[in-house]
Amino acid sequence: MSDNNSNNNHFDVIVLGGGPAGLTAGIYLSRARLSTLILNEGTAGGQMVLTHEIANYPGVESISGYQLSSVMRKQAQSFGAIIRSNVVVEQMDLSSKVKSFTLADGKRYTSDAVILATGGRSRTLGVPGEDRLKGQGVSYCATCDGDFFTGKEIVVVGGGNSALEEAVSLTKYADKVTIVHQFDHFQAFEHAVKEAKENSKISFVMESTITSFNGDSSLDSVDIKNLKTGEVRNFKTDGIFIFIGYVPNTESLKGMVDLNERGEIKVTADMETSIPGVFAAGDCIAKRYRQVTTSVGEGTIAALAASAYLKG
């Protein structure tokens, strides 16, 4: 089935989202000869595209997120999945037996089953100056912006795997990296903590948080508050990278499927949502661990479960 030469816009399954979960679902569904459409509001690959290096994907020694997403996209397309990227979904009906999606360009697609793989986005600190200085020294993507800070001094905010791993990758460019974290310990895996602590370019400011981003046309300093003493000091920096987790992209799904208090989609072990025929996978679902591999596994389960649903 072709989006370009067919007037039939009905598919067996529509996958909403083209990150690792959505692309994996597309691979499994289309290889099972189910007509599959992946609707993606961004670039295929999702947050994975922003990852500088993936070194823990089984069977692959090291690969960039962009490269891995490109391979997965080509795999899905080779089996027959149709991918439409950079689309805007204006309306969707998940409750009817036949599901439907209407895009901003007026095209309407229907399907018998749906997999929601809308992913998440970087969480912001929400403090003064952050919005104003985004792209002017405030960044959420080391891969995108790291080389702008060659030879400079920067701050990384966060204490999880992403924060420590990206801090290490940023030392390829910056002369000095200061990690600011609100707790007295890190939430990252031990190998990530060890690698960061052994890097001579990295220093740590613990039990502290950023309270303000300062600068006129670009960032020139941040205010750092010590959470134990309450002391606030001004800290000069050329840039700041924020890695404090993700917010699920589920705003458009409120009132359609059951969400938890964090806005994550509630799913069963088979990735089924509160609506029959609607499944979910990836960083938009309620789960503890967020890795490319976990999203791939969930995309696999969702695709197999959707296939079983279609067979009745």
Task: State the greatest distance between any 2 C-alpha atoms of the chain, in Å, as a whole number.
Answer: 66
Give the orientation angle of helix 20-31 with respect to helix 65-78, to 10 degrees.
20
Cα angle 277, 83, 53; round to 5 = 100
**Which string of DSSP letters, residue by residue, matches 149-166?**
GTT-EEEEE--SHHHHHH
Q: What is the mean pLDDT of residues 98-104?
A: 97
C-alpha count within 13 angstroms, C-beta hemisphere, residue 103: 16
Interatomic CA distance for residues 34 and 81, integer angstroms: 9
CATH 3.50.50.60 fits 10-121+246-311, yes or no: yes
To the query of whether residue 141 is one of the catalytic residues in this protein, the response is yes
Strands 221-226 and 208-214: antiparallel
Taking only the tens place, the pLDDT of each residue in 155-193 is 999 999 999 999 999 999 999 999 999 999 999 999 999
Taking only the tens place, the pLDDT of each residue in 183-216 is 999 999 999 999 999 999 999 999 999 999 999 9
Domain ranges in the chain with CATH number 3.50.50.60: 10-121+246-311, 124-242
Q: What pLDDT sits at residue 312?
A: 86
To the query of whether residue 283 is one of the catalytic residues in this protein, the response is no
| Structure tokens that stand for 7 in this block | 């007037």
pLDDT higher than threshold 60 for residue 3: no
124-242 belongs to which CATH class?
alpha beta
Q: What are phi and psi of 232, to 5 degrees?
A: -115, 130
Taking only the tens place, the pLDDT of each residue in 36-89 is 999 999 888 988 887 778 888 999 988 988 999 999 999 999 999 999 999 999
pLDDT higher than threshold 90 for residue 302: yes
To the query of whether residue 145 is one of the catalytic residues in this protein, the response is yes
| Structure tokens that stand for 306 in this block | 């959707």
Interatomic CA distance for residues 36 and 14, integer angstroms: 6
Using DSSP's 3-state secondary structure scheme, residue 246 falls into strand
Q: What are phi and psi of 24, to 5 degrees?
A: -65, -45
Interatomic CA distance for residues 135 and 230, integer angstroms: 29
| Structure tokens that stand for 137 in this block | 């020294």
Using DSSP's 3-state secondary structure scheme, residue 121 falls into strand
Interatomic CA distance for residues 66 and 233, integer angstroms: 38
Interatomic CA distance for residues 156 and 163, integer angstroms: 7
Of 3, 93, 131, 144, the catalytic one is 144
Of 12, 112, 145, 283, the catalytic one is 145
Taking only the tens place, the pLDDT of each residue in 14-23 is 999 999 999 9
Which stretch of DSSP H or E encloses residue 300?
A: helix 292-311
